[in-house]
């Protein structure tokens, strides 16, 4: 059974209504799609989670990174939560300068000894791995191997022909509660690891009232595999459904691969988020920070509130996207309420 519900306004300036054709940028919810691409390459035998990254990307071996594994990259243990070299927006959009800077950089902690959310660098690291192993960019791989077979509206690197369908993001209201402000400063205050990881040391710091670069055609067109996926809720739900079962004759990964990619890798203090986080191989797992449908569910949330997930225990997959962003690092109340509604139906 499929349920697809939509409502609201896609663009406040024009009054354009949100309809079945509307797309939304989903920030870190993109990471789940990137993780599925890697899992498919692992299942094919082209890659192993225990491979050294340098086996496929020789330039990565310098600066004490020769033993960093794909597993460590996928679970935010690689010690590369942001690029220390100062990069401008044009270099982020070009991608290659970021990838080359990450290859040169020394980890900020000994890989494998701690984890810290690689909010943006996760995507470029994973994207370069996919390119080195498969030959295609991760955006092309996703379009041809995941979105195409399932008929999804889901892109990393949006074609210009689809630009008119994208909803305009509305920045989250500034917090007013003193405790919430203090927590946000602890996580995201200038100079903190969280600020550097989430904004590339300020290059993408647009959430304080300034113009949002994530509403621009230039950012929609690039491949930022941790943060610029553009999709809708139905496509997110369908993608995740195809990781736990067959959808219209398509299964993205086998049961064995699904269990491997969704197995817990880290659970505890997060050096970037200054909170307890729990990750599998590219997926968030159920915890207080991001509540999911059940204890064995896996998926990924995105800044502002989006969420995609699958629950192998119930056989249910869900997707939620929006354009009104909310602030905070804990689970957004809107998908939490949707999860409660799904559980009541079950």
Rounded distance, CA 300 to CA 268, Å?
17
Task: Give the active site residue among 14, 28, 147, 277.
Answer: 28
Work out whether the CA dihedral 332, 334, 338, 343 comes out positive or negative: positive
3-state secondary structure (DSSP) of residue 97: helix
If 0-12 CB within 10 Å is exposed, 13-18 middle and 19+ buried, where does residue 225 land? buried
CA 155-302-316 angle, 5° bins: 80
Q: Is 28 considered catalytic here?
A: yes
CA-wise closest residue to 238 among 17, 39, 36: 36
Across-strand partners of 299? 284, 309
Nearest to 164 by CA among 233, 104, 230, 260: 230
CB 122 within 8 A of CB 76: yes
**Residue numbers annotated as active site:** 28
């Amino acid at each position: 059974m499929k349920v697809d519900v939509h409502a609201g306004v896609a663009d406040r300036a024009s009054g354009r209504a949100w309809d079945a054709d509307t797309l939304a940028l989903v920030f870190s919810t993109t990471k789940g799609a990137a993780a599925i691409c890697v899992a498919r390459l692992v299942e094919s035998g082209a890659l192993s989670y225990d491979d050294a990254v340098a086996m496929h990307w020789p330039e990565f071996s310098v600066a004490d990174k020769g033993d960093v594994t794909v597993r460590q990259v996928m679970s935010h243990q690689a010690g590369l939560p942001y690029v220390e070299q100062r990069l401008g927006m044009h270099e982020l959009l070009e991608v290659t300068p970021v990838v080359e800077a990450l290859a040169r950089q020394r980890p900020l902690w000994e890989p494998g000894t701690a984890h810290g959310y690689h909010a943006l660098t996760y995507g470029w690291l994973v994207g370069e791995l996919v390119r080195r192993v498969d030959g295609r960019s991760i955006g092309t791989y996703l379009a041809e191997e995941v979105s195409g077979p399932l008929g999804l509206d889901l892109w990393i690197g949006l074609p210009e022909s689809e630009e008119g369908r994208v909803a305009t993001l509305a920045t989250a209201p500034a917090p007013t509660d003193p405790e919430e402000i203090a927590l946000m400063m602890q996580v995201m205050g200038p100079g903190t690891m969280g600020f550097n990881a989430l904004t590339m040391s300020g290059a993408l710091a647009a959430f304080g009232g300034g113009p949002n670069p994530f509403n621009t055609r230039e950012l929609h067109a690039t491949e930022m595999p941790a943060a610029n996926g553009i999709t809708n809720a139905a496509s997110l739900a369908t993608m995740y459904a195809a990781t736990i079962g067959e959808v219209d004759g398509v299964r993205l990964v086998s049961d064995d691969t699904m269990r491997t990619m969704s197995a817990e890798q880290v659970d505890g203090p997060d050096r970037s988020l200054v909170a307890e986080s729990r990750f599998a191989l590219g997926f968030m797992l159920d915890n207080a920070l991001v509540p999911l449908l059940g204890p064995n569910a896996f998926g990924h949330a995105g800044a502002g509130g989006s969420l995609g997930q699958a629950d192998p225990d119930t056989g249910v997959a869900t997707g939620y996207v929006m354009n009104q962003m909310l602030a905070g690092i804990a689970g957004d109340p809107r998908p939490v309420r949707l999860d409660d509604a799904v559980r009541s139906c079950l």
